[in-house]
């Protein structure tokens, strides 16, 4: 779910011009592309604790990427971009990759139009499929540093991580009935993940820092495992939040109203639920306070409707 974006207001631009000499030197922290860690959202519900609902970082086997010069039409493995057996002729993987790449293009174009500077782009791919596009604008006229990245990832996740993320056990947890009986080792679970993420730090401390990430995750059948025993899971997750240095009521109202309007198009309970997830996620425990003015975070989105 992407919240509708509005043009940067003249008031915001005036604030930034007025305080152009005052810079909030805050480094953008982004996940390194060469990391062997993959972040996925937990999928279990009900009795799942708040801490378990936080993003789960797990060790995974992922191929080393290489930098490329040309941007491919798709980072999906051969054949996936042309769809599957679905009646609409297009796979959800292809649809999601198309959506996040179009979102990256439109967001970067809007930022460049306001800032007057251009993003630097790096492209990378992996031999077995997958890749991504990283774009960074640094020392611009409006933004100190802004990054908008998309990625498509294939890998192998430990069965323990799969069960922790889904709350499943037994055959659906990555162990066939035969393996349960024989006590054989668990099978790694192949997975696919794609997402878009961004952090933007303005130069003017009167303007807020914004963060968002949206992702799609699904598992595949381990080699040699029957369809009945294979672990199956898929979900969408992500969210966005705003962190102002100086709070302006109209900014907070606009941000949350825009999110609520987007959520209400799908379910009137989404905004309240997702806002609480975000508030709970960004608690700074040793200060007993929350970071910024919140936003929305969502997990477990796997309803076909």
Residues with a catalytic annotation lie at 211
Q: Where are the beta strands (DSSP E) in the chain?
A: 37-40, 56-59, 66-68, 120-125, 131-138, 143-157, 189-202, 209-219, 234-243, 283-284, 289-290, 295-301
Burial of 35 (0-12, 13-18, 19+ CB in 10 A): exposed
Q: Dmax of the chain from CA atoms?
A: 71
Calpha distance 55→45 (Å, rounded): 14
How much is the CA Rg of the chain, to the nearest whole Å?
Answer: 21
Number of H helices, E strands in the chain: 7, 12
What are the residues facing 298 on neighbouring strands? 238
Contacts of 159 (CB under 8 A, 6+ apart): 173, 174, 175, 186, 187, 188, 189, 231
Q: How many CB atoms lie within 10 A of CB 86?
A: 10
Strand order across the 209-219 sheet: 66-68, 120-125, 131-138, 143-157, 189-202, 209-219, 234-243, 295-301
């Amino acid at each position: 779910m992407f919240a509708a974006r509005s043009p940067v207001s003249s008031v915001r631009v005036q604030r930034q011009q007025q305080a152009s000499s005052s810079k909030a030197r805050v480094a953008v922290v982004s996940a390194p592309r060469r990391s062997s860690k993959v972040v996925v959202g937990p999928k279990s519900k009900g009795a799942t604790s708040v801490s378990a609902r936080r993003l789960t970082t797990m060790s995974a086997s992922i191929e080393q990427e290489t930098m490329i010069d040309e941007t491919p039409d798709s980072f999906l493995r051969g054949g996936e971009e042309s769809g599957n057996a679905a009646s609409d002729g297009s796979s959800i993987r292809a649809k999601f990759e198309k959506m996040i790449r179009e979102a990256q293009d439109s967001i970067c174009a809007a930022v460049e139009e306001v800032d007057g500077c251009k993003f630097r782009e790096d492209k990378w791919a992996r031999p077995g499929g997958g890749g991504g596009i990283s774009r960074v604008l640094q020392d611009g006229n409006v933004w100190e540093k802004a990054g908008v990245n998309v990625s498509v990832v294939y890998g192998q996740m430990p069965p323990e991580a799969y069960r922790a993320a889904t709350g499943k056990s037994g055959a659906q947890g990555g162990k066939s009935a035969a393996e349960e009986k024989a006590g054989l080792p668990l099978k790694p679970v192949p997975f696919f993940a794609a997402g878009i993420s961004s952090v933007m730090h303005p130069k003017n401390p009167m303007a807020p820092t914004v963060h968002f990430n949206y992702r799609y995750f699904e598992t595949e059948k381990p080699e040699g495992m029957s369809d009945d025993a294979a672990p199956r899971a898929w979900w969408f997750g992500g969210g966005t939040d705003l962190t102002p240095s100086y709070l302006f009521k109209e900014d907070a109202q606009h941000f949350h109203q825009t999110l609520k309007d987007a959520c209400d198009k799908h379910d009137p309970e989404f905004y309240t639920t997702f806002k609480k997830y975000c508030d709970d996620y960004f608690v700074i425990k040793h200060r007993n306070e929350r970071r910024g003015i919140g936003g929305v975070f969502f997990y477990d989105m796997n309803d076909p409707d």
